[in-house]
A and B are shown apart, each in its own frame.
Chain A
Amino acid sequence: MTDLQSRPTPAAASGGGDSTAARVAPRPRPKRLVRRGVRHAIMIVASIVMIYPLLWMVVSSLRPNDEIFRNPGLFPISLDFSNYARGWESLAQPFSHYLMNSTLLVLGCVIGNLIACSLTAYAFARLKFWGRNIAFAVMLMTLMLPIHVVIVPQYIIFSQTGWVNTMLPLILPKFLATDAFFVFLMVQFIRGIPRELDEAARIDGCGHFRIFFQVILPLMLPALATTTIFTFMWMWNDFFGSLIYLTTPENFTVPLALKSFLDTQGSSDWGAMFAMSVVSLIPLFLVFLFGQRFLVKGFATTGIK
């Protein structure tokens, strides 16, 4: 069926004979139109299935509680913001407190990753030093290391330094380039920068630090942007680490606040829970809208979620 369609037939080739031309510029035929229609229909149905739960959650967050369990549709759209008002105030702290905590965590992690990973990446991509290949292989292997193998001793260390229930155990490792994913991403990027630029700077008397800061760093802004966006999304969603290290409500981040909703509300006030869930997703959605270009690039070069 499909193979018949892709093969150019004399009828399709205007003037006949030249089959290559027919392949390049096929004239729309009824069959082709139907096939195109079917393909679009499938994609539209798939899109709706994919996106419907999200739309429904947003719409439901603006509905009274009992309607959430009665109306699976999107209409009528009500604009009742009482869920938001109630959800905002129903935990130990106002929700803005958790948003602030998450923002601080994300900021610290972004700065840490930008500094530490770019330094490491420059060394891997441009410097020749003893043991580089082995170190690089080790770095790639840590990419695949389950965090669980190190979390217990890390917890013990941080509980001895008195840092449990602070953000330090979550932020400090970022300043030590432990997110190998970003190191690799930046290494790939720096490798794509022409070496002639370094050489020229070196001839002008620049050392590695000036080459790094004045030549490489300005050129790797796209990689830094990708790192910022990914770090933002991962840490905004971070649950396992936060759950272990942040123990009292005043230090909770947004994911922990949402989790404590489930604990305290006994899953009854779904309206408020949906409302705060939507609030927690807004920053991610904005990043998706404005940073998609960098996200796609990050995926394409390194391919990790």
Chain B
Amino acid sequence: MSAVGELTQIVSGRKKGGAKEKHRDNKAGLIFMAPWLVGLLAITLIPMIASFALAFTDYSLLAPPEFVGLANIREMISDTRLHNSLVVTFIYVFVGTPLQLVAALLLAVVLNAGIKGLAFYRSIFYLPSLLGGSVAIAILWRQMFGANGLINQVGGMLGFENLPGWVSNPDTALSTIILLHVWTFGSPMIIFLAGLRQIPEMYYEAASVDGATKLAKFFRITLPLLTPIIFFNVVLQVINAFQSFTQAFVVSGGTGGPSDSTMFYTLYLYQKGFTQFDMGYASAMAWLLLIIVAIFTAINFFVSKFWVFYDD
């Protein structure tokens, strides 16, 4: 069962056992759990609380934090660069993630239909998702979509002369990063493939006996039974996409340019916190990000009741 599935069970109280168990391993439990507990406190919980407190301060590391009340939040409300970074991030998440997942699902279904050389194709599609997060690939992207880059060279051969530099044009720079995101569809594809393989063959056989068409089988058997995995992918990919950083940073040379068109929220947060050392503002921004991610995850979980189908 997936992490998302289990969390749903625990939170909704569907998880069995818990209450009836005799608590007899408390001491061993504490010892085995000690590293995690220390980590939870020192690396996660205390910094979270501190980050919340810092959101109401002005702090530059040099002088002690100074309480400024809601000043950071007021500044955020009027900060147009921040609003722009939210728009950029939303476009990236809500265009890039669906495209990536649709590509992953389509190719998983085609591969699963049985094709010679499955392992070969799977490897080819999967490799980019392993490399896609690296700086090396972002450098490659910057060249490919530059004014004289690979894409425009190919374009020139096809008769499109004087194409613009895609990464240096504010209208197209974000699209190149979205494309990079779609290019890494291999990892969700692998998850879909694993899910497809668990659908019992007998469902299809029964449908065949009833004279179901291939299309009907896809929409009435494959898709419904795959919804838990689609849901799982959507939740995690959305959370991940909100936190994307490396590609926008490298492709834009750390600036989020041209004209802030690739200024991802996390990139703006980085600039505020770690180049301008406005730690208070960066903390406030971090909490807004957490709230946004939490809201969208909650929406995902809520909406899932209407479309995710659990076979058990």
Name the distance in Å between B266's Cβ and chain A's nearest Cβ: 6
A184 (CB) vs chain B CBs: closest residue: B3
With A72-B150, A149-B290, A259-B250 as given contacts, are A284 and B134 in contact (CB-CB < 8 Å)?
A: yes
Stretch at the interface among A9-17, A169-177, A217-225: A169-177
User: Do B107 and A46 touch (CB < 8 A)?
Assistant: yes
How far is it, in angstroms, between the C-alpha of A178 and the C-alpha of B130 when the chains are bound?
22
Q: Which residues of A contact B (CB under 8 A)?
A: 2-3, 5-7, 23, 39-40, 42-43, 46-47, 50-51, 53-54, 56-57, 68-72, 115-116, 119-120, 122-123, 127-130, 132-133, 135-157, 159, 173, 175-178, 183-184, 188, 207-208, 212, 233, 236-237, 239-240, 243-244, 254-255, 258-259, 261-263, 267, 270, 273-274, 276-278, 280-281, 284-285, 287-288, 292, 295-296, 299-300, 302-305
How far is it, in angstroms, between the C-alpha of A264 and the C-alpha of B289 when the chains are bound?
33
> What are 11 pairs between A and B in contact, CB < 8 Å?
A23-B208, A56-B150, A115-B35, A140-B3, A140-B6, A145-B44, A146-B286, A157-B47, A239-B245, A262-B142, A305-B133
Central interface residue in A254, A287, A296, A305, by most chain B CB within 10 Å: A305
Name the distance in Å between A285's Cβ and chain B's nearest Cβ: 8
A188 (CB) vs chain B CBs: closest residue: B1
A132 contacts across to B, CB distance below 8 A: 18, 29
User: Do A3 and B150 touch (CB < 8 A)?
Assistant: no
**Per-residue interface assignment for chain B, residues 188 to 208, with 1 indicating a CB less than 8 Å from any chain A CB and 0 otherwise:** 001100100000000000001
B86 at the interface (CB under 8 A from A): no
User: Do A299 and B190 touch (CB < 8 A)?
Assistant: yes
User: Do B127 and A51 touch (CB < 8 A)?
Assistant: yes
User: Do A300 and B194 touch (CB < 8 A)?
Assistant: yes
B185 (CB) vs chain A CBs: closest residue: A50
User: Do A150 and B36 touch (CB < 8 A)?
Assistant: no
List the 10 closest pairs (A to B, CB-CB), nearest first: A176-B39, A129-B29, A3-B213, A277-B136, A123-B32, A153-B47, A153-B50, A300-B194, A72-B153, A150-B47
How far is it, in angstroms, between the C-alpha of A185 and the C-alpha of B286 when the chains are bound?
28
The total of chain B residues at the interface (CB under 8 A) is 109
User: Do A178 and B32 touch (CB < 8 A)?
Assistant: no
User: Do A288 and B33 touch (CB < 8 A)?
Assistant: no
User: Do B191 and A146 touch (CB < 8 A)?
Assistant: no
User: Do A258 and B136 touch (CB < 8 A)?
Assistant: yes
A51 contacts across to B, CB distance below 8 A: 124, 127-128
**Per-residue interface assignment for chain B, residues 7 to 30, with 1 indicating a CB less than 8 Å from any chain A CB and 0 otherwise:** 100110001001001111110111
User: Do A116 and B125 touch (CB < 8 A)?
Assistant: no
User: Do B245 and A146 touch (CB < 8 A)?
Assistant: no
B61 at the interface (CB under 8 A from A): yes
B295 at the interface (CB under 8 A from A): no
With A129-B23, A258-B136, A277-B139 as given contacts, are A47 and B3 in contact (CB-CB < 8 Å)?
A: no
Partner among B38, B47, B121, B232 whose Cβ is within 8 Å of the Cβ of A176: B38
Partner among A57, A120, A155, A259 whose Cβ is within 8 Å of the Cβ of B36: A120
B38 (CB) vs chain A CBs: closest residue: A176
How far is it, in angstroms, between the C-alpha of A3 and the C-alpha of B287 when the chains are bound?
52
B18 contacts across to A, CB distance below 8 A: 132-133
With A148-B269, A208-B28, A300-B191 as given contacts, are A239 and B33 in contact (CB-CB < 8 Å)?
A: no
B226 at the interface (CB under 8 A from A): no
User: Do A173 and B39 touch (CB < 8 A)?
Assistant: yes
B259 contacts across to A, CB distance below 8 A: none
B98 at the interface (CB under 8 A from A): no
With A146-B286, A284-B130 as given contacts, are A153 and B150 in contact (CB-CB < 8 Å)?
A: no
How far is it, in angstroms, between the C-alpha of A99 and the C-alpha of B194 when the chains are bound?
35
B297 contacts across to A, CB distance below 8 A: 144
User: Do B61 and A43 touch (CB < 8 A)?
Assistant: no
Q: A154-B43, A299-B194, A303-B191 provided; 13 other pairs, C-beta below 8 A?
A: A43-B117, A54-B131, A128-B29, A140-B7, A142-B40, A144-B297, A149-B287, A153-B46, A156-B279, A240-B246, A258-B139, A304-B3, A304-B236
Name the distance in Å between B131's Cβ and chain A's nearest Cβ: 6
User: Do B290 and A145 touch (CB < 8 A)?
Assistant: yes
* B245-264 with Cβ < 8 A to chain A: 245-246, 249-250, 253-254
Name the distance in Å between A235's Cβ and chain B's nearest Cβ: 11
B130 contacts across to A, CB distance below 8 A: 233, 284, 287-288, 295
Name the distance in Å between A147's Cβ and chain B's nearest Cβ: 7
B178 at the interface (CB under 8 A from A): no
Central interface residue in A51, A123, A137, A236, by most chain B CB within 10 Å: A123
B143 at the interface (CB under 8 A from A): yes
User: Do B183 and A50 touch (CB < 8 A)?
Assistant: yes
B85 at the interface (CB under 8 A from A): no
A187 (CB) vs chain B CBs: closest residue: B6
B245 (CB) vs chain A CBs: closest residue: A240
B299 at the interface (CB under 8 A from A): no
B135 at the interface (CB under 8 A from A): yes
User: Do A137 and B236 touch (CB < 8 A)?
Assistant: no
With A51-B124, A288-B127 as given contacts, are A133 and B15 in contact (CB-CB < 8 Å)?
A: yes
With A148-B243, A280-B136 as given contacts, are A262 and B232 in contact (CB-CB < 8 Å)?
A: no
A304 contacts across to B, CB distance below 8 A: 3, 236
A175 (CB) vs chain B CBs: closest residue: B35
Name the distance in Å between A104's Cβ and chain B's nearest Cβ: 18
A237 contacts across to B, CB distance below 8 A: 133-135, 246
